Amino acid sequence: MNARDPHARAPRSPRLRPARLAPADVLRLGAVGLRARRARVVLSALGIAIGIATMVAVVGLSHSSRADLMARLDRLGTNLLTVEAGKDAEGNEAKLPKSAVAMVERIGPVQHATATGDVPAQVRRSDVVPKERTAGVSVQAARTDLLTALNAEVAQGTWLTAANERLPVTVLGSIAARRLGVTAPGEKVVMNDEYVVVVGVLEPVELVPVLDRVALVGFPAAEEYLGFDGHPSMLFERSPDATVEDVRTVLPRTVNPGDAGSVKVSRPSDALAAKAATDEGLTALMLGLGAVALLVGGVGVANTMVISVLERRAEIGLRRAIGATRGAIRVQFLTESLLLSAIGGAGGAVLGAAATFGFALAQGWTPVVPVWSLAGGFAATLVIGVLAGLYPAVRASRLRPAVALSAT
């Protein structure tokens, strides 16, 4: 076509397209916005960090405590059953038969059976202490195989043996020794006006903590010196885990065939299991408090971003005037909000993990910080960042260039 042809069409100018920022440029732009307001960023991120640290620490400490509890249960065993005498049909205190241990041992799956008995004796540090001041320590008769059945240990000295169970000697529970002021084996205490030699002190008995507060003597010695009638007050029985419930069912009729209703059977490990369930409830409560703290931190981030939009209207207007789209403005402020939340989340995760390790080690636990708690906490901060930055980002993108540039 001739260039001078009056009907010729002028060539079209190419359509202009707004340039798009690469992801790295978006992150760099968001970081610049945060560096310009460092004090405000630190305070806003601190709210997020406190919430995440609380949640991570609560989960970590709960798992560390539960792991320690499960380790204790594995060590102590969950197959221990205790038998106590309750009240008979007339409401009177019942007594277990003297042959109760032998009858329990005849149950097929039973691996071990032993007993203790309440002894009507008072314990004092010396004969100059008034008789009514027993320091809350009672006396119980014990068989020589008691420690084996309970997986208990002696902290100092020795346990009762076939050689000394007939002699006026005693082994004190850990709390009983402290209350009586006994610091080492070889010291003496007074039982019913007679001096008795302390031959050992027990470690705390976790499955049967009542034994921590008693003075234990042999069955023969208790009958000879302290007026013990020989009737056991508590039996301890172990059987394979698979048969525990079956043995539990037949124990009352075996121990006291004539009055099975007066026999109480319990499983000490159930108390530790109940403690684990209680810890789970407390963990849920503390997680709720951590979520509230995280929500408050999110409100702080939203407030920071709204103020940032108001302060930077001139910047927004200039960017719009030179070609930035509304979408680019939204992405910029959402990125700043996400970075702000991520800083708080990362700091909170580190702080929560450190708190978990510190407290767990101080308690003698094995520190456990589940990976999902760290990942979940960080993901929650990103969600908070998006929600907190959404309104400020939309508001910034709707500013008209002329109005924004005229703002002072």
Burial of 138 per CB tally in 10 Å (0-12, 13-18, 19+): middle
Mean local confidence (pLDDT), 123-152: 88
Are 141 and 259 in a shared domain?
yes
Q: 236-250, 282-296, 321-335, 379-393: which has the highest mean pLDDT?
A: 236-250
Q: Give the range with max mean pLDDT: 313-327, 351-365, 386-400.
A: 351-365
**Does residue 73 have a pLDDT over 70?**
no
Instruction: Answer yes or no: is 352 within a domain.
Output: yes
Confidence (pLDDT) at 312: 73
Give the three-class secondary structure for 403: helix
Query: 308 and 206: one domain?
Result: no
Average pLDDT, the chain: 81
pLDDT for 295 beyond 70: yes
Q: Taking residues 325-350, what's their average pLDDT?
A: 84
Give residue 387's domain range. 23-72+273-406
Q: Is the pLDDT of residue 296 over 90?
A: no
Kindly give, in sequence order, each residue whose CB lies less than 8 Å from that of residue 137, ignoring residues fewer than 6 positions away. Answer: 123, 172, 176, 179, 180, 213, 214, 215
Same-domain check for residues 212 and 302: no
Please tell me which residue, 231 or 276, carries the higher pLDDT value.
231
pLDDT average, residue stretch 311-326: 75
Q: Kindly state the average pLDDT of the residues 120-139.
A: 86
Q: Could you give the number of structural domains in the chain?
A: 2
Cα 406 to Cα 8, 247, 316, 332, 401: the distances in Å are 45, 87, 11, 21, 8
Write the DSSP assignment of 293-318 as a string of letters: HHHHHHHHHHHHHHHHHHHTHHHHHH
Same domain? 189 vs 225: yes
Mean pLDDT of all residues in 74-91: 74
Stretch 134-138: mean pLDDT: 84
Q: What is the pLDDT of residue 1?
A: 47
Q: Mean pLDDT over residues 69-92, rounded?
A: 73
Q: Which residue has the higher pLDDT, 133 or 408?
A: 133
pLDDT computed for residue 77 by the predictor: 67
**pLDDT score for 223:** 92
Per-residue pLDDT, averaged over 191-196, amounts to: 90
> Is the domain of 277 the same as that of 384?
yes
Mean pLDDT of the region 48-65: 83
Q: What is the mean pLDDT of residues 298-321?
A: 75
Does 171 score more than 90 pLDDT?
yes
Q: Does residue 355 belong to any structural domain of this protein?
A: yes
Q: State which of 243, 267, 291 marks the end of a domain.
A: 267
Among candidates 342, 275, 357, which has minimal Cα distance to 27? Answer: 342
CA distance linking residue 278 with residue 275, whole number of Å: 5
Residue 286 has pLDDT above 80, yes or no: no
Decide the pairing of beta strands 169-172 and 194-202: parallel
Residues 348 and 400 in one domain: yes
Residue 20 has pLDDT above 80, yes or no: no
Of 241, 267, 293, which closes a domain?
267
Compute the average pLDDT of residues 180-199.
92
The Cα-based distances of 183 to 180, 188, 210, 222, 359 in angstroms read 9, 11, 20, 24, 30
* Residue in this structure with the two tokens 């000295």, named with its chain if needed: 157
pLDDT surpassing 90 at residue 189 = yes
Crossing angle between the packed helical segments 269-311 and 371-397, to the nearest 10 degrees = 20
Query: Which among 245, 267, 289 is the end of a domain?
Result: 267
**Looking at the domain assignment, is residue 105 inside a domain?**
yes
Same domain, 257 and 321: no
Query: Could you tell me if 117 and 65 lie in one domain?
Result: no
Domain identity same for 182 and 84: yes
